Structures are given as structure tokens and as C-alpha cells.
Structure 1
């Protein structure tokens, strides 16, 4: 733990929020079209209909806001999953929740021709919930009951299954392929503020409730018996946390597609900074997750300019080495 006192943790959180805000402003001006801080300011104070002002308002502002919200959702969902399962690799992408939500959305687009943003959100929630239930059931099967390794294997199997089924659907429906291919790579490019407005009524309460119940998560991580001995209704806490994970993971996929590694990497970095108290881990994860996705989106604009790399590719490049390190350390490999 780097930040040991509450004063340092508060200061660190303030610095993180300032960093996120600076990155979000940076997202408004950095890209293929040459803009500046002055142009960004004028785009909101004296809009003149120029190409630069349109790009800042209608393209870069939604990307900045969506990146911050989606990154926060994925990171907090990962932090809760790691706490509930005591699994250092737990995250919406590793456990197949993102893939399941994505598969359900592809079914909606390719078979039922869904085009409503509200419908996308509820379909993503349904896919996330279904996948979470199946992974939990498979991971609990057998004499040993639920174990971190079995959960990870079950999640990886479901992620692979849904990825294969998704590809199969797209092969037989080329029109749907055009609509969802870039989205499936994980991207905030081309997203509208309307898509963010659709999920905010769900993810904002979920984020707030996750912070309120942080102390109960701390008690639960001490062990089932200890938590019950302290009077906690562990079943209620687990169900509420699972619902929050489904809302955050499904909402993120509905807007930006399946984006990997943020849910794994950020909670570990937050624990490195503030220790194992979820009253600090959850807000730090939200801020740092948003910052990581925003900076990954900025970098994605410059890799193969004038084209762009999907932000999901950038987060995979950033997160893969950390994932390997966590996997080796988490399961005791030398």
C-alpha cells in the first residue's frame, strides 16, 4: 500500500479526479483534425458551425464522456467480482459476462433487427445476467464446490463459446456483420450521447450503491462464517453485488462493446495504492478505470492515423502483460 493515511488517500483521489478531467479535455482536442484548447472553448461558448466545432461537440465530447463512464463501470465491476469470488482474475471479460452480453446483442441485431438504444441496454443486461448465472452454476459444480480456478475456467469456456456463436451468426448474416463488427472489437468511436443517456439511469445508481455497500464487502471478504457471525445477511449482499455487476457490465457492453482488461488491471492497481479497504478501492477503481479508457482512446487515434484502432485493442495491448503477471502470481506459479 502506497497511500497509508486517510489524508493521503483523499489527496490521491482528488489527484486522480483532476487527471481524469484533464484527459477528458485532452480527448476534445487530440486527433486527426487539428484543434486547440481555444477552439474547444469556442465550440461551447460561441459555436459557429465550422467543421472543427462540429467534431468537438458531436464526435469528441461523446467519446470523452462515454470513455470515462464505461471505464468506471468495468473497473468497479471487476473490483466487486474479485472481492466476491476471491479470484484475482475475475472481471466481466474473463468471466464471459461481456461476451454473453455481446452475443445477446448480436442476436437482437441479426435475428430480431433491434435498433432501439433502450432495447440494446435491456438485451445486454439479459445477456450479462444469463452468463453470470451459467458461470456460477458451472463453477459450483462438483465436490469441491465453488473455487477461483473453476470459476476462471468456466468463465473462459463461456467467453469462448459466446465468441464462437457470435462469429457463426455474423457469417450467415453479412448485413449484421457491417453493423456490429467494429462495435464487437470494443470502441467508443462514433457513439452518440443518446447511447450514454440510455444507460446512465442504471449505471449511476449502481456505482453509488457499490460505494455505499463497500463496508459490507469488506466484511464479506473476511469469510462467510465471520460475516454471518457479525450479523451480516451474506446472501442479500451477494445478490445485490451480483446485480450491480450485471448492470455495470451489461451497460458498458451496450454502449461500447466488449472492452477487455480494464476490469482486471485497475482493481489491482487500486489495491496497490490504497490497500484492501473497498471503501477506497471502489472510488479509486471508478476514477482510474475512466482515466485508463480515455487515455487508451486518445492513443488509439494516433497508432495508424488517419485510421483508428478500436479502443478495445489498445486496452488489450496495455492489459495483457499485467494479466499474465496477475495470473502467475494469483495462482502461485513461479
Structure 2
């Protein structure tokens, strides 16, 4: 976008409007509020909490703690949480059958949260097989290859059991081609027409996911394998637009870009191109870098957290999934 020229210096002095806090607030182009936050939470089938070494300050929460975290989110004004299960290794299998168990960990926890807080808080659940597969891939593996259409047949079942458990938003993170349309059709046919789909539409095969995989226990399962045959290459930009267009055409209510800060250009392109609800995930590696620098005293914690989140808003994101959500909500509530 081009703007008409302004008078040259000294008639125009852009520092005038920066001179006082009240003036800076008056001309603020972007703002961050607690309404922009989604809090990712890890849950395990046990009691107490488990520290995650690669995610300082973040813990897996036992089933006796997760409802309290949900209530805390409500008290802080955070609109939604995203739940990720650390599945017992004994329940993982090649066919990821635990993903479609109506009494699996994430389904049980969702029911408990909904009983406790109802519609005061949105619950977002991922649709992908990696927390449940013995090989750590998001889809079924046949002859060493992640297969697309067979995987979708399982994903739609996973979406149905999660919707039946009471989740508000289904978030397919698997990156299989065509899964949004199939899941939308399955949800509608099962009378879950009000359940939203937040598609991980532009999800990259990124090196920033390491701590997350530690948190859900899939790192060891994946081993030296990768997900480059279905997640996007970091070199791709136009491809992200095509991915988003396809998911919207298939019925996605909102779309997500993942990771976040290394892909702010993608966030901006998606929002400018489609004008739909667009979210970004400030992923585990981004969090770990910031938290590590803060803990080492190299960065100012509160300031860098808020600046990093404001960057997403400036790029056009409507909301951010961030492990800093409670910290940001506290700061915004001052």
C-alpha cells in the first residue's frame, strides 16, 4: 500500500507523537489483549505434575491438576485452551488405535473440564496420530511411507470421539491432503455441526518442535525419522497460500500457521489474502529460546514476552497459541 507524501522535515517530525505515553497510546496501530490468547496444556494419566526439561516453566499436568488449570484460564480471562496428551507408551501402536478410544486420556479430561467450567472456556483438541502411534508419525505407515487416505479414515473417527467428549474446536494438525472436507462431513453427519475446525493449514517441517515432542513423548518414537513428506518445507511461501485455500474450500472455520515468529511473513500473507480468522502457534522451540534467555538474565522477561506476542498481532494474527498465555494474561490484567 502506498501513502500520499507528507511534508518534509522539519515540518514533519514523527518523534512528536512518541514524546508521551498518552500520545503513543492514542496512535497505537496494533494492540494485544487477553482475548488473543490460547493456552496449550500437556496432560498425563497420573497425579501431580512432571517438569519438562526442554520447556522450563512448563509441566505436564496430572488428571488431578488439569481442571484447576482450566479454572485458572477462566479466571485470567483466557478464551481457550489446547490440550495435548502424553500417552502411556503401553497404549501406543502402529495403527494408533488409542486415538479413537472414546475413553482415552484427552477425551476423559475434556469431559471433566467441560463439567467444571462449561462454555466459559473453549477446548481445542488436535487431530493427528503422533501422540498415539508407536512410530511417532502423524499418519499410518505402510511400507515405510505415511499414507494419506487410510490415515484420513482414522482421523475422522478421532474427530468424532473428541467431539462426543465435548470439545469445541477440532484442530487437524496432521497435514494429510483432503482431511478437512472429510472431517467436516463426518462431524455434520454425526450431528456435531456446531463444532469448529481450526485447521493447521500451513504447518512446516520445522526444527522448532523438539521440546513439544519431548512433552508428549513422541520424540523417542519418531527417532531419526522426519515428517517432510507431508509437512511443508521451510522454503515454501506460495504453497502455504494453496494449502490454506484448499482447507477453507473444504470447510475450515479458521486456519493456523505453525511455527510462529519464523513465519510471520506467512501469517501476513494468509490474513491479507483470505481475511479469515488466522492463528499462529508460538511453538515450543520459540518459547524455550525466549525462556532460556530470560532465565539467563540476557533478556527482560515481561518486555520480551509482550513484544513477541504483539509481533503476531502486527502481522495480522487474530490469536496466538502460546505457553506464555498465563504470563501475558497477568501482564495485560495490570
Provide TM-score, normalisation by structure 2: 0.25
**Which of the pair is proportionally richer in strand?**
2
Per residue, is there more helix in 1 or in 2?
Answer: 1
TM-score, normalising length: structure 1: 0.25
* Higher RCO (C-alpha under 8 Å, 6+ residues apart): 1
